[in-house]
A and B are shown apart, each in its own frame.
Chain A
Amino acid sequence: MSQTFTKAMARNVFYGGSLFFILLFLSLTYDTHSEMPKQDNSANLTEKVAKGKRLWEENNCIGCHTLLGEGAYFAPELGNVYKRFGNSKQAIEAFISSRPREGIKGRRSMPQFDFTAEELDAISEFLKYVSEIDASGWPPNIQG
């Protein structure tokens, strides 16, 4: 770098540039908030969905699965599992509740969580709600 470009100038570029882009980011965040209801399916965000989300969190589902592509890559994407299971909450609940306690020999297995019927209902309701979020056409196909 040439001698005419001093450390003080570099510092000013840093502070000025950062400040500018922080403000731009905050404006975009503000706009995102106002646009969000168009895509986030918040119209269907019921108490039951909120309970399902809590169960999703408190059993660390994200530790194996992805949800809208985020999480761990050990087990299938669940953002669209409701659709993949034929738009059926029952199919989801049957799958979760039928996991063998000791796993399946030689294969990746989902733990048996011993959910009550009410909890299963909340979880599947949550997954249904997620599947109806407009994720801009993602995933590319039903396999997630």
Chain B
Amino acid sequence: MMKYQSQAVAKPYFIAAIGLFVGQILFGLILGLQYVMGDFLFPEIPFNVARMVHTNLLIVWLLFGFMGAAYYLVPEEAERDLHSPKLALVMFWIFLIAGALTILGYLLVPYSGLAQMTGNSLLPTMGREFLEQPTITKIGIVIVALAFLYNIGMTILKGRKTAITMVLLLGLTGLAVFFLFSFYNPDNLVKDKYYWWWVVHLWVEGVWELILGSILAFVLIKTTGVDREVIEKWLYIIIAMTLITGIIGTGHHYYWIGTPQYWQWWGSIFSAMEPIPFFMMTVFAFNMVNRRRRNHPNKAAVLWALGTAVMAFLGAGVWGFLHTLSPVNYYTHGTQITAAHGHMAFYGAYVMIVLTIISYAMPMLRGRDAANSERSQTLEMWSFWLMTVSIVFITLFLTGAGILQVYLQRYTGDPQPFMVVQEKIAMFYWLREVAGVVFIIGLLTYVASFFVGNADPEATVD
């Protein structure tokens, strides 16, 4: 059961997140098929449209997840009800409808038509990777973010302030502030790219990690019963290392876009240290679980918490390090190596942390005392393994594709054209698609876990 009634607003946010997640993966499968069957759905849904839907749905559902997480955990941390549950619900519908309209716009209108309809020429912000949303949608995102920050900020201000809520608020504020750079789109391509990374890198390798850390710390306090002082000290050290390495680490995107060459030094050295906070997070999570003062009946939530720590380290840390040094990146920049890293990093760090908090909070949001039934949890843990193992294979297959691509197109003495190379590595794309099918089976299993064993008694600590 929830401690505060207003925590209930988290529930629609989590449900929307899961729904959009399913959509994201459906489009991922379409994209994977287009890699090997080039004319699949052409010209109705060309690759660029499907990709936009895939990546934008990811961002939007993660944002739903973060907001839901904040609405759930902030009242509990601040020891008071949410400042305005009504505002939270209004913003939920605005965000969902704006998001749905944007996705429909991508699918139903040619992109240039969408640009025209939404007056892109007045303030051109469209057509840059991940920031494809019409300007009007971007403005909507800012409004929703401000209302959200106000709501969360007021709750924290009036209540108990903990390290967890302060770090979360800092991360969420950073998220909103750096998004403002999406409105800066100079004609100078080098400048455009330079500040584009202030949204993209400073989000995923910066402030989002603060959000990740604080949600993880919250779930670990709740599930292990370890002293808050210990957990919050870890949290500060981890996020200190995140920003100490990650801010200058932005430089690893400034090697080959027309920016000064000293970035090859700054970027290589600092981004090579970016795995450290992720490694610390893994040590932290396992340490806390090992030192637990009690066994929590929600074993699935603990599994997700440990999983996110490990997979974030592998995906963001190890796979990031693989191609972050500038002499290596010279060959791997913009290849399937990048795609491999992107998939495991996003899954490990951000998909899994959202699923962690959903796993922890949803039983209470649905009226349970602490956990779902055994049967439901068993199914959820199956989905954990199906999705996690298949993302590992997706990553390995894309890495295989990437290594071959780098060799054939960039490294060998007789470099071959892009499309010739793509055909030679098609086998890896087929294997990736198979792994993708397993992933969606895992995801559907996850969805099913919400409908199974609801009449059964809650799982107990054995």
Contact = CB atoms under 8 A, between A and B. Distances in A.
Contact of A70 (B111, B257, B261, B266): B257
Contacts of A143: 409-410, 415-418
Interface string B250-265: 1100111111110110
A109 B37 contact: no
A136 interface: yes
B69 to A, nearest CB: 21
A5 B330 CA distance: 41
B244 interface: yes
A36 B190 contact: yes
B128 A11 contact: no
A42 B39 CA distance: 38
A72 B47 contact: yes
A86 interface: no
Nearest to A76: B418
A36 B264 CA distance: 15
Contact of B48 (A11, A72, A129): A72
Given A17-B240, A39-B258, A22 B247 contact: yes
Contacts of B338: 73
B331 interface: yes
A81 to B, nearest CB: 10
A92 interface: no
Interface in A1-44: 1, 5-7, 10-11, 13-14, 17-18, 21-22, 24-25, 28-29, 31-32, 35-36, 38-42
A40 B129 contact: no
B124 A54 contact: yes
Given A76-B419, A103-B39, A14 B188 contact: no
B48 A63 contact: yes
A140 B330 CA distance: 7
B247 A69 contact: no
SS class, residues of chain A in contact with chain B? loop
Interface residues of B, dominant DSSP: helix
A138 B127 contact: no
Interface string B108-152: 000110011000110010111100100000000000000000000
Interface stretch (B93-101, B231-239, B306-314, B445-453): B231-239
B34 A40 contact: no
B339 interface: yes
B417 A76 contact: yes
Interface string B221-234: 00000000100111
Contacts of B103: none
Given A63-B47, A102-B43, A45 B127 contact: no
A144 B418 contact: yes
B303 interface: no
A31 B229 contact: no
Interface in B39-53: 39, 42-43, 46-49, 51-52
Interface of A: 1, 5-7, 10-11, 13-14, 17-18, 21-22, 24-25, 28-29, 31-32, 35-36, 38-42, 45, 49-50, 53-54, 56-64, 66-77, 101-109, 111-113, 129-130, 133-144
Interface of B: 34-35, 37-39, 42-43, 46-49, 51-52, 111-112, 115-116, 120-121, 124, 126-129, 132, 163, 185, 187-191, 193-194, 229, 232-234, 236-237, 239-240, 243-244, 247-248, 250-251, 254-261, 263-264, 266, 330-331, 333-336, 338-339, 409-411, 415-419, 422
Please name the 5 residue pairs, one residue from A and one from B, whose CB atoms are nearest each other, closest first. A63-B48, A57-B127, A69-B334, A108-B38, A138-B256
